[in-house]
Amino acid sequence: MRDDDTVADMSAQPSSPGDIPPLEIEFCGEIYRVDPGSTFTIGRVGDLAIDDNPFLHRNFLVIEYHNNMWWVRNVGSRIAVTVAENAGMLQSWIGPGTQLPLVVSDMSLVFTAGPTTYEIDVTVPDNVYEISDRNRTSVGETTVGQIVLSPAQKLVILALAEQWLKRVGTGSVDIPRSEEAAERIGWTRSRFNRKLDYVCDKLDQLGVKGLRGGQGAHATYRRARLVEYAVAAQLVSIDDLPMLDEELKANQRARELARIQRAERAAEKKRNAAAVRK
């Protein structure tokens, strides 16, 4: 741990010799330590009071140690949370009223409240499982596991996830609206939404929850859920961001060429009309 990190000890009772080490939680550079026997709460209020966001539950997540494992429990009523291993090899989705064991050393909790998406990092001591990457395949830059993205589908995700990928450490990010993301790459809003439909349908068919139907049908929620999944599964990374400027410049050049061609056709039409009058 760095000397400049802010540490808050959330121990509810002293640990006796032989107890497992505390679990560590990091959010916006602040680190919390949670000992077995204590209950750590996350929400608008609690041990980790995230934000004065009216869309966020006052009490949202509870982290506790029981049955020889660390668990995260969603005590909210409408917001789901993505629990992901930080190498992108393991990801689960916890709906309201459910819980999940934290079984890998380095994990992230990612969730969306209103237009804002949050990430909290968790370091689990004495993890139960280790992740093997022997089944991960990579062909080119757009294949992760069994998910292959077209360049247009990858651009959709990058335009939505740009600020998330650029941020340093954990914290919160506002996901752009469709018109803002479309403008970022020089597309029309209708084209962007059409490609967004395609990529959400593809991931939905592969079993990714929250991208269509029910609550996921809400436009803001769907965009945020796509970013949650894509970043956690490492479908996109900060190294892909130059694609955004390349696409924007290509579309700007195409529009300028089309403008010049229209002007040339208009001038030619005037010349032809003048010749006819003579």
What does the alpha-carbon distance between residue 81 and residue 228 come to, in Å, rounded to a whole number? 9
DSSP code of 187?
-
Determine the 3-state secondary structure of 42 from DSSP: strand
| Cα–chain center distance at 233 | 9
pLDDT of residue 6: 42
Determine the 3-state secondary structure of 82 from DSSP: strand
Query: Is there a contact between 178 and 220 (Cβ–Cβ < 8 Å)?
Result: no
Reference 42, options 15, 66, 12, 74; nearest CA is 74
Query: Is there a contact between 23 and 70 (Cβ–Cβ < 8 Å)?
Result: yes
Whether the per-residue pLDDT at 12 is higher than 60: the answer is no
Q: List pLDDT tens digits, range 160-171.
A: 999 989 987 777
Q: List pLDDT tens digits, range 205-256.
A: 888 888 875 443 467 788 988 998 888 888 899 999 999 999 999 989 988 8
pLDDT range class, residue 266, cuts 50, 70, 90: confident
Those residues with Cβ within 8 angstroms of residue 230's Cβ, 6 or more apart along the chain or in another chain: 157, 161, 236
Those residues with Cβ within 8 angstroms of residue 205's Cβ, 6 or more apart along the chain or in another chain: none
pTM beyond 0.75: the answer is no
pLDDT range class, residue 191, cuts 50, 70, 90: very high
Q: Extract long-range pairs of 161-164: CB within 8 Å, 24+ residues apart.
A: 161/227, 161/230, 161/231, 161/236, 162/241, 162/244, 164/117, 164/227, 164/231
9 - beta bridge partners?
A: 33
Q: List pLDDT tens digits, range 117-133.
A: 888 999 998 765 655 55
| Cα–chain center distance at 86 | 12
Q: What one-character-per-residue DSSP string does 84-122 give?
A: EETTSS-EEEE-TT-EEEE-SSEEEEEEEETTEEEEEEE
